[in-house]
Amino acid sequence: MQSHVSQPHEKVSLPASLDACIDHIQTEIGGSSDLVIKRFSCLHLWPGALLYLEGMIDVQMLHQSVLGSLMGYANEHTPSFDDPNDRLTHLKEDVLIAGNTDYAEEMALLFHRLLSGCIILLLDGSTKAICISAAGWEDRNISEPQTQSVVRGPMEGFTENLRKNTTLIRRRIKDPQLWMETRQIGQITKTSVALMYVNHLVDKGVLDEIRRRLDDIDIDSILESGYIEELIQDVTLTPFPTIYNSERPDTVAAGLLEGRVAIIVDGTPFVLLVPSLFVHFFQSAEDYYQRADISTLLRLIRYLAFFIAMLAPSFYIAITTFHQEMLPTSLLINLAAQREGVPFPAFIEAVLMELTYEILREAGVRIPKTVGQAVSIVGTLVIGQAAVNAGVVSAAMVIIVSITAISSYVIPENGMSIAVRILRFFLMILAATFGFFGILLGLLAILLHLTNLRSFGAAYMSPFGPYVASDIKDSLFRMPWTHMMNRPYSNGNGQKKRQKKRTKRL
């Protein structure tokens, strides 16, 4: 299924004249130097031409499967056909040994195939063209995921090639019910976007809604899955991600087996999974490769890190500004001595340090790798120590910012980590204004916002709100596989049963 996007060549049929067709293609493509046109007349009275873009096709396939077939056929007796289209059909069905071929009768489809790495075969007098799939450009090899690494588990990551990514998923789910739909989105880029789902597990209502939202997209370009994520998400005014993205094939395969839908965009290693719930962003692929007790401990640490990353600076501001009586006397005296020479209130001090850290973090992403380590050492050690010695910030604030930064890296999904960074400043303002009362108001506002979020119809805070008892087994905790007999109810999948009940062992 493909979305309808108006194209400049739409409904323009191929001219029957070979010269006219080639001239039209050259004009539309601007006489680009990478367009190769190889005319031939070896088929006796069947003059034709091969067209392809240099660097986008497999040259070996061109010589063996296409030119080899045509040259070998030219030495044989050529049957007579009155209709040139019958000649073309004969070449496609009986001569060419290339596997993936189809027809193009309109310029829009011909240009799409040509720019997608196909070899175009034209015959004089025919109003159709044969498109031979021969994509063979250089791309990145499969390597270890860069953003979602694990200690135990597969070390394969998605690449920028759509077909490689779908193959990595099919290697893990060898079921004919794993279906895939592909469409082109983007009036100019015509980016291939694939939907993958297990047909008997997926919620058909969710699948239809995903199709509708994708078909409603009308934009010039799709360069990364982030375009699709922003265009189809339920709510835009929220810091929380409502669509999960991963560069791990095993994570996507696990999501498909739970009845979710994968959206794969050509040109990016990040695959989208919908629907996505709040708990999904704290689950790592490694949780299901370790024992249940180890996985539960690691998952609880992630939730603890989430609250530390969001609340640690706010608590420090509230305590030092409004609630000093909550601290032990010795610690209070120590903090007061540290802050004696600091000219700023705790809120300004925290904002300065947090902004400095955010700048250093962004610089670490953009800076060349050859000097990245040196900059991180300067940023964390030299600047921090110098700021304390100069009396700009207290040593306690450096500790708070450090533990906050480290905790934000514990969250497996980067989108949730960014949400925490945004909410941290919001809670710091409330803490500086109202103390703990302000923090409580902020948390209530965040909780109300979370309970109102939806991801393709699924309640974002499920299984906590609404409460789904059966799904609690894989939320805060990770129960053993013998206790998780059914698939998560919150995903709205079709077939609930995941495994048969096991007999007790001695």
* Tens of pLDDT, residues 315-328: 999 998 888 888 88
Task: Answer whether residue 58 shows pLDDT above 60.
Answer: yes
According to the model, what pLDDT value does residue 491 have? 66
What pLDDT is attached to residue 4? Answer: 38
Give the number of other CB atoms < 10 A from CB of residue 11.
Answer: 8
The rounded percent of the chain whose pLDDT value lies above 70 is 90
For a pLDDT cut of 90, what percent of the chain falls above it?
42
Convert 31-64 into a string of H (helix), E (strand) and C (coil). CCCCEEEEEECCCCCCCEEEEEECCCECHHHHHH
Residue with tokens 């996507």: 252
Mean pLDDT within 131-142: 84
Provide φ and ψ at 216, rounded to 5°.
-80, -10
What separation, in Å, do the N-terminal and C-terminal C-alpha atoms of the chain show?
Answer: 53
Least confident of 185-194, 292-301, 376-385: 376-385
Per-residue pLDDT band for 498 (boundaries 50, 70, 90) equals confident
Per domain, the residue ranges of the chain are 18-133, 162-276, 290-458
Peptide bond into 275 cis (omega under 30): yes
- Residue 459: strand pairing partners: 454
Q: Which residues contact 332 (CB under 8 A, 6 or more apart)?
A: 324
pLDDT for residue 44 is more than 60: no
Amino acid at 465: G
* Predicted confidence (pLDDT) per residue in 260-272, tens digit: 999 999 999 999 9
Buried b (16+ CB within 10 A) or exposed e, 332-361: eeebeebbeebeeebbebbbbbbebbeebe
Model confidence at 7, pLDDT cuts 50, 70, 90, reads: very low
pLDDT of residue 325: 82
Whether residue 11 is predicted with pLDDT greater than 80 in this model: the reply is no
Quick one: the chain helix, strand, coil %, rounded to 5? Answer: 50, 15, 40
35 contacts 51 by C-beta, under 8 angstroms? yes
